[in-house]
Amino acid sequence: MDRREFTKLSALALAGTYLPIDAYGAANKQIGYAAVGLGTISDIFMRACANSPTAKITALVTGHPETKGVKYSEMYGVPKTSIYTYETFDRIRENADVDAIYVGLPNSMHCDYTVRGAQAGKHVLCEKPMAISSAECRKMIDACGQAKVKLMIGYRVQYEPMWNQAIGIVRSGGLGQLESFQGGFFGQQPAGAWRLSKALGGGGALLDLGIYPLNAIRHITGEEPANFTAVLATRERSGRFSEVEQSMEWTMKLPSGILASCGCSYGQRGPSSLAINGDSGYLVMESAFNYEGVRLHGEVGGKQIELASTEKHPYQFKIEAEHFADCIRNNKEAATPGEEGLKDMLAIEAIYGAAGAPIA
């Protein structure tokens, strides 16, 4: 994204919504999304679309059409004929009310449903991590390119207004020359969760949580990290972590010389934060990767600053859904296209490799 696009995106994000534009067919036509997989994140995404002037849910894809399918169809006014199963998913091609699919499935299913969605002629908004290998990411980019549909990855933090204020401060030189980052995202996963299965998760906390500080650092600097060192550890012996690591810590160096040190875990409590240190100032993002309550404090131009977002969840998902709707209506590339997911995946593969536990 160049500076002009960034400024425009920030202004629109701060406004909290996009004005309906008539460039995509009939005036005020909303972009219709099919939610694929009706779990936690799709539930949030559907809520975010419920009061949007430019996006709405027009179809559902679920393994439980009679229960979850009916429940959400009644909540969001989706016709019963627009409830699909994973087996009948490809028939979505015939549904003119579906402009795009929203992929909210376990990580290892993202590639298959993105490719099939593209082949059905639908634009794709796919959750992060984009897939479980860079080879899969390339396959998804190619399939969308061949079908001439758009591909966006759900990096909601890149659309978050408080983050965009912080990035504005950094890019306007408010911290002087950037020197280093320290970031982390930590949590707990219960035994039996699909995230602890290598086949479904693809990897452990790095793919799911570590990707947040990684993506933020790449986004803020516009640089691709290299020179990785990494260590992982599984201290718990309950068997919960028999397939993926419990915790990962890594360092990386950007081509300009900026250093970064990050951590993530599926088995510990810890902050969701990113410290951004320059030679004349610093910012600390707190609740940095959470759905709401993002705060920043630090020292900018010799003065202490402190700001806190008052926006209410699921505003990040609303901005994201409306950004992609705007891209579809006005034939623009998403701010977080498939290439963005691929770059993260290449870094993730390098981090696992540095830890001596290659995933691809």
Catalog residues that contact ligand NAD under the rule CB under 6 A. Answer: 37-41, 63, 104-107, 127-128, 154, 156, 194, 200, 208
Q: Is the dihedral of CA 328, 158, 52, 338 positive or negative?
A: positive
* Nearer CB in complex with ligand NAD: 150/156: 156
Kindly state the tokens that stand for 255.
Answer: 């081509």
Three-class DSSP category at 205: helix
Query: Of all residues in this chain, which one has the CB nearest to ligand NAD in the complex?
Result: 39
Active-site pick, 33, 102, 212, 266: 212
Radius of gyration of the chain (CA): 20
* Nearer CB in complex with ligand NAD: 106/278: 106
Q: Where are the beta strands (DSSP E) in the chain?
A: 31-36, 55-61, 83-84, 100-103, 123-126, 151-153, 178-186, 226-233, 247-253, 259-265, 273-278, 282-286, 295-300, 303-308
* Shortest distance, position 263 Cβ to ligand NAD, whole Å: 18
* Shortest distance, position 267 Cβ to ligand NAD, whole Å: 17
**Best CA proximity match to 37, nearest among 82, 66, 69:** 69
* Shortest distance, position 68 Cβ to ligand NAD, whole Å: 7
Rounded-to-integer distance, Cα 146 and Cα 243, Å: 35
* Shortest distance, position 45 Cβ to ligand NAD, whole Å: 9
CB contact at 8 A, 262 and 250: yes
* Nearer CB in complex with ligand NAD: 140/258: 140
212 in active site: yes
Q: In this structure, what DSSP letter does residue 113 have?
A: H
* Nearer CB in complex with ligand NAD: 129/278: 129
Q: Just list the catalytic residues.
A: 128, 212
